[in-house]
Amino acid sequence: MKYVGRPIPRVEDELILRGKATYVDDVEIPGMLYAGFVRSPYAHARVLKVDFSDVLKTPGVVAAFGPGDGEPFSFAPGGKVRYQGEAVAMVVARDRYVLYDALEKVAVDYEPLPAVLDINDALRPDAPLVDESLGNNVVHDKVYEGGDPDRALKEADVVVEGRFVIQRIIPSAMEPRGVVAAYDGDVLTIWSSTQVPFDVRKEVARALGLPLSRVRAIQPFVGGAFGSKLLVYPEEVWVATAAYRLKAPVKWVATRSEDFKATTHGRALTLEYKVGASRDGRILAVTGTVYADAGAYYWGEGLADTAAQMLPGPYDIRHGRVRAVAVLTNKTPLSAYRGAGRPEATLFIERIMDHVADVLGMDRVEIRRRNLIRQLPYRNVFGITYDTGDYPTAFERGLERLGYRDLKRWADEEAKRGRIIGVGFSVYVEITTFGYETAVLRAERDGSFTLYTALTPHGQGLATALAQVVADELEIPMESIKVYWGDTAYVGDGIGTMGSRSITAGGSAAVLAARRLKQELAKAAEALLGCRPEYREGVFQCGGRSVSIAEMVKAVYRGKAEAQLTVEAIYHAEPTFPFGVHLAVVELDPETGFVKPLLYESYDDVGVVVNPLLAAGQVMGGALQGIAQALYEEAIYDETGNLVTSNLAFYYVPTAAEAPRYEVYFAEEPHPSKHPTGTKGVGEAATIASTPAVIMAVEDAMRRVKPGVRIDKTPITPEDVWRLLR
């Protein structure tokens, strides 16, 4: 009875499909108060005065907090707001509708300041400063270097230069952020739509000077996050503080328009590159600068750096120098969005490969073939060591499995009938998994097990996947394991679900916990049975006698044997590296520039696949996000710093009608990671691989109309296509 590797439907679905899953807005506590925020209409302004006199007179209004209220109410730090939507005050009322009336009654005097919205402008010496204390708008600047890039460029047959711009993305999890906090005089409890309840607890406890043991953070069901809920946001601290001070439950749930400004954005990296290659297509050196449009606060640490360090991708490039620069602008702060630096690195290098191939007149498959890393483990030029895999084999098998050549031929046939089809592919290597994760496993009197994980699933189906790996380790039915997550009352500390790390870090922690618990119980079994037992399928046996886990646990409670019934495992994980080939087929309407994604296919070596049903779900959903980055979505600001795409009507999250058909494959002979689960992570693979595959497909289609056109930005909108084709 092995569960790992089987497409098992999710145990979470019982609640979700009956509408019984509790999201933060579903948390009800008698006496609930509602909090809301007054937010700056300006991108950059001094806050001269916040006047609550009107609002406090409004019936139903309970309290208001503003810049004058001191820590932790860090409204308008330094006396100014730095992006449209930054909070300047908070109002608490008895009713949601009354609250929104009240918010309009807070009088704020602003002195608008010139805003800086574009990284090029922000880098000018006379640019307005987002943060005066820095002296300029560069908040981070670091060079990654390896080999001798200058010599390699000099010796190269061709040097190719260019620039690629990746837009700002609004993560758009379907559930906006929200927080409920309640203080009963003893414990402060916070429910938050977050990926990081442990950090929320730490931050709130620190802000209020409370011991961690009296602060409990709960992650209820979360309606998607995609990296946009992995920071502790000020609202979480503010709402908790209000509940603590008012000794009443307080709820804040963002409206969508509010969320679009108050929740971090993603991507927004630009690469200026210069690469050297030999005539036969070997990339000798990659150099350049990655600029991050960091927004108003530098919350997105490491995004440009990850993009820089992973820029060589799956290719054997021995010389490199990439600068990672983060630039402040008067926009919503930038942070992680599904992939966080790796989709950008992959898009950049895949575009570079195509660019070099064009300059050399080389086939796009061939140039990759010539540069793929042959031997693993491999240390890339910036010092990152890729663990396991066989890239050349996976590449060839992948292209074959996905039918690349056949699809190209089919596109040729269709072209004869006047239908313009583009076929593109991408190759990626991804870095996943970092830090530690915690699992607590308890044996129950009836032989069932309770697993508490520090992971914070929000759609990934980890309660199912964790039950699978633990059931296999304990050789018991999955149904005997109940998985709880997202509550700091269960587990002391952990990190959470992000960065494709969950099943590898958290799953391995769970496996280790199961192993240890088995050892504990074996010790007790030995004492009971008087011989060293074997363990099989929930039963210890030796010398012709046996004892079940349930009997063991009861024996421990009765004092007949000694064992720990609850064990904790804290697993520290080294990074691991999935690899894959993805393919996209699009149809182009050359007159209008409209592009329709028809087919999306993937072939991934993600190590052990715990649950192919769930893994495929991650691939398809991730793919559509990357496709949307290629074709539809972009946060657009006007010249005053007003977010134009300020709600879901203006920001094009694709509907079912935009989605392609998907075919998902996993490598027949995967290369497991060295972690106990053997997994490498699959949550971001397709978000990473899909954008470059689609861009190549669109370019391929466009070249049937106009040879030689090149795409150097995302998204490529119908209007962009139309312009390029003119």
* 220 near ligand FES (CB under 6 A): no
User: In the window 466-525, what residues touch another protein (CB under 8 A)?
Assistant: none
Whole-number Å distance between alpha carbons of 633 and 266: 11
CA-wise closest residue to 688 among 333, 337, 167: 337
Number of CB atoms found within 10 A of residue 342's CB? 27
Cα gap 533→529, rounded to integer Å: 8
Q: Which of the residues 437 through 476 are near ligand FES (CB under 6 A)?
A: 459
Q: Which residue is nearest to ligand FES (CB)?
A: 174
Query: Which residues have C-beta within 8 Å of that of residue 151, sequence separation ≥ 6?
Result: 319
Per CB under 6 A, the list member of 224, 447, 590, 612 interacting with ligand FES is 224
178 sits near ligand FES (criterion: CB under 6 A): no
DSSP state of 472: H
* 20 vs 163, beta carbon nearer another protein: 20
How many residues bind ligand FES, per CB under 6 A?
3
Answer yes or no whether residue 669 interacts with another protein by CB under 8 A.
no
Q: How far is the CB of 145 from another protein (least distance, A)?
A: 38
Q: Which helix H or strand E contains 38, and what residues bound it? A: strand 33-39
Going by C-alpha positions, the residue among 335, 325, 267, 324 that lies closest to residue 296 is: 335
Of 194, 346, 460, 714, the one binding another protein (CB under 8 A) is 460
> Residue 489 binds which one of ligand FES, another protein, none, with CB within 5 to 8 A depending on kind?
none
- Which of residues 23 and 434 has its CB atom nearest to another protein in the complex? 23
Does the footprint of ligand FES cover residue 15 (CB under 6 A)? no
Angle at CA of residue 57, ends 33 and 234, nearest 5°:
45
> Interacting stretch for another protein, rule CB under 8 A, among 430-438, 524-532, 636-644, 695-703?
636-644
Residue 224 vs 492, nearer CB to another protein: 224
Q: List the structure tokens of 636.
A: 């657009």
Instruction: Kindly tell me which of 17 and 527 has the beta carbon lying closer to another protein.
Output: 17
Q: Is residue 174 a contact residue for ligand FES (CB under 6 A)? A: yes
Ramachandran bin of 193, using left for φ above 0, alpha for ψ from -120 to 50, beta for the remaining angles: beta
Point out which span in 92-100, 380-388, 601-609, 693-701 binds another protein (CB under 8 A): 92-100
Read off the tokens for 72.
Answer: 């932790």
From another protein, ligand FES, none, interface partner of 246 (C-beta below 5 to 8 A by class): none
Partner whose footprint covers residue 25, from ligand FES, another protein, none (CB < 5 to 8 Å by kind): another protein
Which residue, 223 or 494, has its beta carbon nearer to ligand FES? Answer: 223
| Residue of the chain from 461, 580, 678, 681 that contacts another protein (CB under 8 A) | 461
Residue 70 burial (CB < 10 Å; 0-12/13-18/19+)?
exposed
Sketch the per residue contact string, 581 through 600, with another protein: x for CB under 8 A, - otherwise.
----------xxxx------
* Residue recorded with tokens 């300059």: 359
Does residue 625 touch another protein according to CB under 8 A? yes
Q: According to the 3-state scheme, what is the secondary structure of 70-112?
A: CCCCCCCHHHEECCCCCEEEEEEECCHHHHHHHHCCCEEEEEE
Q: Which does 54 bind (CB under 5 to 8 A by kind): another protein, ligand FES, none?
A: none
Q: Does 653 bind another protein (CB under 8 A)?
A: yes
Told to check if 560 binds another protein by CB under 8 A, we report: no
Out of 5, 16, 49, 405, point to the residue binding another protein (CB under 8 A): 16
Could you give phi then psi for residue 46, rounded to 5 degrees?
-80, 140
Task: Name the one range near another protein by CB under 8 A: 130-138, 146-154, 546-554, 624-632.
Answer: 624-632
Q: How far apart are CA 301 and CA 289, in angstroms?
A: 16
Q: Which residues of 606-642 are buried (b: 16+ CB within 10 A; e: fewer)?
A: bbbbbbbebbbbbbbbbbbbbbbbbbbbbbebeeebb
The two three-digit tokens of residue 410, written as one number: 């089919």
Q: 82: Cβ–Cβ under 8 A, 6 or more apart, which residues?
A: 43, 44, 130, 131, 296, 297, 328, 330
- Residue 436 binding target from another protein, ligand FES, none, CB below 5 to 8 Å by type: none
| Least gap, CB of 224 to ligand FES (angstroms) | 5
Residues 704-723 that bind another protein (CB under 8 A): 717-719, 722-723
- Give residues in contact with ligand FES (CB under 6 A): 174, 224, 459
